[in-house]
Homo-oligomer: A and B are copies of this chain.
Amino acid sequence: MKVERARDYVVENLPYALNPRSIAVVGASRYPTKVGYKVIEELCRWGYKGELYPVNPRSKLVQGLPAYPTVKDIPYDVDLVFVAVPAHIVKSVLEDCVAKKVKIVVIATSAFKEIGRGELQNQLTQYCRDNQLPLIGPNLVGMGSPYLNFNCGFIPYLPIKGPVAMISQSGANLLAALGTSQKDHFGMSFFVGLGNKADVDFCEFVAYAGRDPNTKCLAIYIEGLDSPEAFVDACQHVDKPIVTIKVGGSKIGEKAAFAHTASENAGTTDEFYDEIFERAGAIRATTWQQFLDISLALGMQPTPRGDHIVMITNGGGSGLLSCDHFERCGLPLHELSEISPGLAGRIRAYMPMFGSPLNPVDISGTASPIQYKGAFTQAMRDPNVDGILGSICPTAVTDVPAVTDVVIQIHETYKHLGKPFIMECQGGEECQEAIMKLRDHGIPAYPTAEQAVNAMVALYKYGQIKRRKA
């Protein structure tokens, strides 16, 4: 539901959504497949340290915890109320929440506006707004943070710790991202599903993420903005990179977005959203993969001062895929001789005669860790170089783990120079392991050339956005 701008009382209460001292679960259940069971199970399993109050009118004990008939019956303060009861009961729960003066309410229940019950949903919105009770949802999966061991919802696992705040209207995509986090070492600061966003809006979580110390980059999956101007305003006030992906722009997608999260896209076009994101200073991704890839890079690395990017690889083919893609993305590579007069000569010392000190620099398939180290060091130290994209191809003589360690060492040594360093490592199991280790050390690393290029291009774009904002 539309807001004029991020509301102070909402933003001030959002910390209770991710770090509540006490939680009541309405619809707490003894049946393991129910949301009202899962949420308690996961809170306990992941180490929630606050108070937990099951609410269930037909049980005195749920999962070993004393249960209460209603929220009002809980004899202690309650920060967050998590609601997992059928749609028609929700209104009375909200009345109890207001009476109880809870800080925030989260509604997991589905079957509101997305199936045509817009009026029912709007009544809840109005009631909460009249009473200044922030409502997240309905029709959402939950939220959490690995920094707080907080898993509150219908969520099988926490992500690993890291820089990206994931704000998603879709529950399934959010869960997929959490799985990817574990599998591909994509670190998150916190995550939240917004669902139908009947009350709490994107703009308010943007403001919250802007203040969250663990968040270095905001990644936002959008099915429809109710309040584009409030979104632009909130983003403009955040001094962190913001990545968006917007769906529902296709003819059938418009209907699907409504059926999914009651998002309204009638009358808007993809170009409309391009302009919104442009004004917001947000970088728009086209595909889900790109969305994750560039968010990670923006969360981990500084922006390049200019477009003097040097690519160093032991695979000529990887270099070619990259330089073509750089040009396709509007950031063509320059030859080393244009970037810095002596650089080609200094790098040449670290490659065989059939290598190529162009840019991409091909130190050849025979490159040793020492040659990698020499080439990276020369590029890193050269004051005319603004950023480095390195690439490891697993030839029969490449010592992938040793080169990985060289990269980590170079990154540590020269981090103070503030030059972005991105890696690509295309191949099998050992490359996947290298990617994980590099990510664990703060270096965005990817399995294909184009993904790494997309990441560097995003850093460059964000540098331009920062300069424009300054």
Contacts and interface: CB of A to CB of B under 8 A. Distances in A.
A260 B323 CA distance: 13
A393 B183 contact: no
Contacts of A172: 313-318, 365, 393, 395
A451 B249 CA distance: 18
Given A154-B395, A252-B333, A448-B288, A321 B247 contact: yes
A250 interface: yes
Interface in A281-339: 286-289, 313-321, 323-328, 332-335
B324 A428 contact: no
B365 A171 contact: yes
Interface in A248-304: 248-253, 255-257, 259-261, 286-289
A104 interface: no
A178 B252 contact: no
Contacts of A114: 354
Interface stretch (A15-23, A64-72, A356-364): A356-364
A449 interface: yes
Contact of A324 (B248, B323, B327, B393): B248
A319 to B, nearest CB: 6
17 contacts: A33-B397, A169-B317, A173-B321, A174-B317, A175-B396, A176-B393, A176-B431, A179-B431, A180-B427, A182-B429, A183-B431, A223-B320, A248-B324, A250-B324, A252-B359, A256-B316, A260-B320
B448 A259 contact: no
Nearest to A429: B183
A353 interface: yes
Contacts of A223: 317, 320
A199 interface: no
Contact of A317 (B170, B289, B320, B427): B170
B288 A320 contact: no
A371 interface: no
Interface residues of A, number: 94
Contacts of A427: 175-176, 178-180, 183
Given A395-B141, A428-B179, A429-B183, A358 B450 contact: no
A107 interface: no
Contacts of A431: 176, 179, 183
Contact of A249 (B324, B365, B396): B324
Contacts of A93: none
Nearest to A259: B356
A176 B394 contact: yes
Nearest to A154: B396
A268 to B, nearest CB: 13
A427 to B, nearest CB: 3
Contact of A428 (B110, B180, B321): B180
A260 B171 contact: no
B326 A250 contact: yes
Contacts of A288: 321, 426, 448-450
Given A173-B318, A320-B170, A426-B288, A256 B179 contact: no
Interface string A393-406: 11111000000000
A441 B176 CA distance: 23
Contacts of A181: 428
